[in-house]
Structure 1
Amino acid sequence: MFHFMKIHTVPTEEEGSTWLQLFFDLVYVAILVELGNRLSHNLNSEELAVFVLLLIPIWWSWLEFVNYGRRYPVDDIGQRILTVLYMALMLLLAFEIHSLTGTTTTTFLVTYGFSKFVLALMYGRAWINYPAYRRSTSSKAAAFTTVGVLWIAVAVFAPSSYWLWVIVVIVGAFTPSLIQLFHGLTSQADVPEPPIKYHFKVHRFGELTIIVLGEFFIKLATSSSGRELMVINYLIGAGLLGISLSLWWLYFDHLEHARLSKTGWRLWVWTYSHFPYMAAITAYGVVGNQIFAAPPRGPLDDTKRLLFTIALATAVLAYGVIEWAAKERDEPLARSPQPWIRLGAAAALLFVGFLSGSLNVGWLVALVAAILLLQVGLDIYERLQRPQPETAQVPATGFSGQQV
């Protein structure tokens, strides 16, 4: 049985994600869809705060899975079984997240706690398969077991205490590092870590980002099914497409050239800047769908207008931090970070949000799209200013096979 679990049915993927990891991302997006649906049904500041609070442990669970795959790229039958079990638990979270009250909150937290036990089992298998790194894998297995117990304890004794949720998330974030630090202080030798697949994180974050951006248009198409559309609706749709295209263009053109640090605080900043970015584009998808369904010739209500512009301003600012933390390689068509342009765009979006209360929906979307498309234009201009010798060859791999 033990030998069966270690069988590989396909060659090991050395560069990017496995097909199962991509499948996992698609299942994971189901949680984001349900989070967005929850927010769209009650669009106010209190529900927005709950949306962000719920997204923290959800996003963190995805990141923990990514961090495991980054150091232990195993795709044998045993790992596939554990991954599918993790996916099943994530789907159960999606079923429960829409209305977290009473018993559903308890179910949500117990399920989340069991997901930590699955991660502990993954590190337990790594402890068996990678003897040289047993101090590291044992630390993480112990940490995830402890955190899983804490989540279940919260579910039993205080499921509705969001403050306890925050505390356990913080404990979960630092427990593996603290246990590893303890091992380091009590031993003469450093705690060895396996080699990192440096570009693996670039792939994983890029894949999740593009799925979330695309999911917005799936919801837009399904929610408009059977509805009679006018010319103005198509124009608003074109504006929303321009906004999404701008987010895609800026992020992925940068990712194509990005030089992600192997370790250190820049890697930390790059990683965690993706949380506000992901929260912002998810919220943009929620309100964008409502904008498309709104009466096109009248102004938006204050809540939708402000969420629309604040979400996009947050996305632009978070992207500015992302591009600063992973500066681009010295190569043709690369450019330096543009923090002042990002700050200017975010300020313009906030200005529009707070001072355009009487503007109708069409003009609001057009103005916001113009601000973001201008970012793309400046990005293209900056890249074309880069001196390029006639013999320079633009790399053909980049995101799908870059060295970072």
Structure 2
Amino acid sequence: MRSRWYHQPLFHMAGAKHEKKAGWLELFFDLVFVAAFIQLGNGLSQKVSVNQFVGFVGLFTPLWLSWTGFTFFANRYNVDDFLHRMLVFTQMFTVGAMAITVPRALAGSHTGFVLAFSASQAIVATLYFRGYKHQPLARDYSRHWAKVFAVGAVIWLISALIPPPYNYVAWFLGVSYIIVTPFHRHSRLLAERYPLDLEHLSERYGLLTIIVLGESFVKMLGTLAKDKNPALEVGQASFALLVICSLWWIYFDDVAGSHIRKKPLSQPIWLYGHLPLQIGLTAVGVALSKITHFDPTQAVEAKYRWLLCGSMGMTFLATALIDSVTERRQAELSDHNRIVMRIFSGLLIILLGAAGGTMNSFWFMTVIGAVCVCQVAFDMLMAPFEESHFHDQSVPAAEVARGVHAKRIPQKRYQDPTKAIRKGTPAGFRKDLYAFFIEGSWIRLWWTMAISYLAINIFFACLYLLEPGSITGARPNSFADAFFFSIQTLSTIGYGSLWPDTIYSNIIVTIEAAVGLLSVAMATGIMFAKASRPRASLVFSENMLLTHFNGEPVLMFRVGNARGSDLVDAHISVSGLIDEFTHEGQHVRRIHDLKLLRSHTPFFTLSWQIVHPINEESPLFGVDWDELPSELVAVSVTLTGHDGTYGQTVYGRHIYQKEDLRINHRFVDVLSTLEDGRMMIDYSVFHHTLPDSASESGSSDDAEVSPPGKE
């Protein structure tokens, strides 16, 4: 039991016994920032301009630092007594004062905002000073950060006494001092000595991102509620919802689901990467509230177009910055691919700010929506599985000692081991794009090529439009002409009606021509490699049979050469995957070779019946076949041979699960001789079987044939 009036703050580090979660006081503290962000968004919405946006960023940063200062203290200390709550409530009042004074600060009257922020920083310093005074552990850490926030508070307090524009210099120094401190060597040494609880920080910054995205919803819905056109409202709301949901997906499927790398400066970069990210998300909500109000047949006004493209570009580039110091938990592709994707998308969106004046708002929003959809599709392709799909199948030692382990062995049907989910693969050993496309489907490759082709041409079309009149023969400010000129340049067509007319456009043409040559070479190489991969057209029977052959029990299946190509010097190997337990009770899964009556043939063109005798030399000898044996997991088959068509060695493989076993069945004969003496193989009944009794009675023609999967 501890006193609610006062108790000693407990210092918290990563690896503590108790998992730290966001407390009710932290969540209540977040609510005041909802009002502050709404006030900032309203101020930017009333007057969209470069100066207003600079003021918006200048006020957002102190608010963000105020939230971050308290969040880091809450990450470090476990305390919830009366004194702590009073200090937090007081800081909430200072943040509320900052929110109230935002309109006056944007109008040029900064004194109230400055004093409120200075008081907020002083309270954070007081919290750290209390930790230093009452908690002996990590006093060097609490003393360091108490000094940092105290100095920041003093600098801002002094700035209230300095007339403009010199007060902005004091602002910059006060903010910079706090921002730069985590990069200092002493701060990094303290962070290494007392590791942060990164799970708690990730949760807290995720909650702040939810708040920022919520502000975007408020702005967008507030504007649409005033619209008089119901049909237009549906389209505008759909576009705005698509953008906001995509941004949510990018953060919570990427940033929030990644581990911070253990490299120098990774933690400060991750931390301050959230500042431009959340500035961009807040500004996106303001921009959506403006753009969705315009006529789809008219071009979007420049200031609103640049606000949306600039804020979304900032969001994508900030995400790329965070991705550069994080590692995706479960992903098939290497992490550098997502960094490249975010950077290219951010630059493309920013260029659309220049090109958007040449298209109506419908096409402008369509392109932006397509970029957002591509982000979601990329994340799904990069990480098709999530952490919750993995379950620990390990058996506690106590249960092994009691003999319970046999019950815990999974009895589910095992899948192809080549399709296994690889958990925790190091980023450097994941698939690159070449392997991703070679192993994937043709549809994946075609869609990627089509989207990349359109994206590259849109990117270069935007570059051409940065300089009016750079393309001779093109209509003034025509995005369509610039786009089609880019297609001609990328593919080196050149019909002669459009050509570059300035040094700038010739430089862009030179770059695009090089990109086109490299892109064609890469696409051609991937397509040729994918199309020319040798594939053996081998058909394995869907069932393996437990039957008798020459009076002894055997395990049998068959293989067919469906294409009928010359497959010479063919070898086949069969292995059984069997569950066993060591003398110590440890569960192991071993591979045992199954000896065959014939494992090699000089040529293989029709059908090959594979037989494994179950005698004393077989690892399956003595198995009770009345029920599906729990020890036998699967039977693996590999067949290799030299294909005369490809002139290369080809292989085929198949996995038989124990559920594929049929007892006392034989295969239906698939070989016959035509009247002209030629052989015929009938693959329509290749998988069919019939009971041994029907075969033994000599009435196989009248017996009921069992198709695959039926008894």
Tell me which residue corresponds to 1:216.
216
Check conservation: 1:82, 1:118, Cα contact below 8 A: yes
Does the 8 A contact of 1:139 with 1:176 survive in 2?
Answer: no
Structure 1 match to 2:356: 356
For the residue of structure 2 that corresponds to 1:75, the secondary structure is coil
Q: Structure 1 residues 262, 28: CA separation in 2 closer, same or farther (over 3 Å shift)?
A: farther
Letter in 1 for 2:335: S
Moved more, 101-110 or 213-222: 101-110
Aligned residue in 2 for 1:207: 207
Aligned partner of 2:175 in structure 1 is 169
SS of the residue corresponding to residue 156 of structure 1 reads: coil
Of 66, 77, 83, 1:61 maps to: 66
The answer on whether the counterparts of 2:258 and 2:326 sit within 8 Å (CA) in structure 1 is yes
> Residue in 2 aligned with 1:284?
284
Whether contact under 8 Å (2:70, 2:124) holds in the other structure is yes
C-alpha distance in 2, partners of 1:55/1:267? Answer: 21
CA drift of 1:345 comes to 1.4
**Cα distance in 2, alignment partners of residues 3 and 384 from structure 1:** 48
Distance 2:192 2:381 in 1: 45
The separation in 2 between residues aligned to 1:192 and 1:336, in whole angstroms, is 25
Partners of 1:385 and 1:20 lie apart in 2 by 35
Deviation for aligned residue 1:114: 1.0
Letter in 1 for 2:27: L
User: How far apart, in 1, do the equivalents of 2:206 and 2:150 lie?
Assistant: 29
Displacement of 1:212 after TM fit? 0.9
Using the alignment, how far apart are the partners of 2:267 and 2:349 within structure 1?
A: 28
> Using the alignment, how far apart are the partners of 1:284 and 1:177 within structure 2?
29
Residue 98 of structure 1 is matched in structure 2 by 103
1:228-284 deviation digits (Å, cap 9, x = unpaired): 233133112111111111111121112453112467311111111111111111111
Aligned-partner Cα distance in 1 for 2:4–2:120 = 25
Aligned to 1:376: 376
Separation of aligned partners in 2, 1:47 and 1:264? 36
Distance of 2:112 and 2:246 partners within structure 1: 39
- For the aligned residues, what is the CA RMSD? 3.2
Residues 48 and 303 of structure 2 are in contact (CA less than 8 Å); yes or no, is this contact kept in structure 1?
yes
Alignment of 1:40-51 (within 5 A): 40-51=45-56
- TM-score (normalizing by structure 2): 0.50
Equivalent AA in structure 2 for residue 6 of structure 1: H
What does residue range 3-402 of structure 1 map to in structure 2 within 5 Å? 4-6=5-7, 14-100=19-105, 104-158=109-163, 161-174=167-180, 194-261=194-261, 264-329=264-329, 331=330, 336-337=335-336, 338-384=338-384
Higher relative contact order (CA 8 A, sep 6+): 1
> 2:94 and 2:417 mapped to 1: Cα distance?
51
Aligned counterparts of 1:214 and 1:95: Cα–Cα separation in 2: 19
Q: Which moved more, 1:349-358 or 1:197-206?
A: 349-358
User: Could you tell me whether the CA contact under 8 Å between 2:277 and 2:318 is conserved in 1?
Assistant: yes
Counterpart of 1:168, as a letter, is G
Shift in CA distance, 373/165, structure 1 to aligned 2, threshold 3 Å: same
Query: Cα distance 1:225–1:394, how it changes in 2: closer, same or farther (>3 A)?
Result: farther
Which whole-Å CA distance do the structure 2 matches of 1:103 and 1:358 have between them? 36
Conserved? CA contact 1:335–1:383, under 8 Å: no
Going from structure 1 to structure 2, the CA distance change for 1:388 and 1:127 (only over 3 Å counts) comes to: farther
| 1:335 to partner: Cα distance | 5.9
Alpha-carbon distance, 1:123 to partner: 0.9
Larger displacement relative to structure 2 (203-212 or 133-142): 133-142
* Matched position secondary structure for 1:5: coil
Instruction: Quote the Cα distance in structure 2 between the aligned partners of 1:225 and 1:216.
Output: 14
SS of the aligned residue for 2:104 comes to coil
Q: Deviations over 1:37-79 (max 9, x none)?
A: 1111111111111111222222122221122122113233322
Aligned partner of 2:562 in structure 1 is: none
Unaligned regions of 5+ residues in structure 1, if any?
185-189, 396-404
Structure 2 unpaired stretches of 5+: 10-16, 387-415, 425-711
What's the CA shift string for 1:165-192, capped at 9, x where partnerless? 10121233456887967xx9xxxxx899
Letter in 1 for 2:241: L
Question: Residues of 1 paired with 2:162 and 2:169: CA distance?
Answer: 13
Q: Secondary structure at the match of 2:5?
A: helix
Residues 181-212 of structure 1: CA deviation (Å, up to 9, x unaligned): 7xx9xxxxx89954522211111111111121
SS at match of 2:161: helix
Q: Is the 8 A contact 1:233 1:296 kept in 2?
A: no
Letter in 1 for 2:119: F
Q: Residues 290-312 of structure 1, C-alpha deviation per residue, up to 9 Å, x if partnerless?
A: 11223343221111111111211
One-letter amino acid of the counterpart of residue 25, structure 1: D
Distance 1:226 1:102 in 2: 26
Instruction: Answer yes or no: is the 8 Å Cα contact 1:116–1:147 preserved in 2.
Output: yes
More helix by share: 1
**How many pairs does the alignment contain?**
384
| Partner Cα distance (1:347, 1:191) in 2 | 34
Contact 2:183 2:265 in 1 (8 A): no
Q: Is the 8 A contact 1:36 1:282 kept in 2?
A: yes
In the TM superposition, residue 340 of structure 1 has moved relative to its aligned partner by 2.0
TM-aligned CA distance change 1:377 to 1:14, over 3 Å: same
How far the C-alpha of 1:357 sits from its partner, in A, is 0.8
Identity of aligned residues (%): 26
Contact kept, 8 Å, 1:236 with 1:366, in 2: the verdict is no
The one-character-per-residue Cα deviations of 1:357-394 (angstroms, maximum 9, x if unpaired) are 14222322221011111111121112239999878699
Contact 2:281 2:312 in 1 (8 A): yes
**Partner SS for 1:199:** helix
Contact 2:305 2:353 in 1 (8 A): yes
Structure 2: how far apart are the matches of 1:212 and 1:282? 6
Tell me if structure 2 keeps the 8 A contact 1:6–1:78. Answer: no
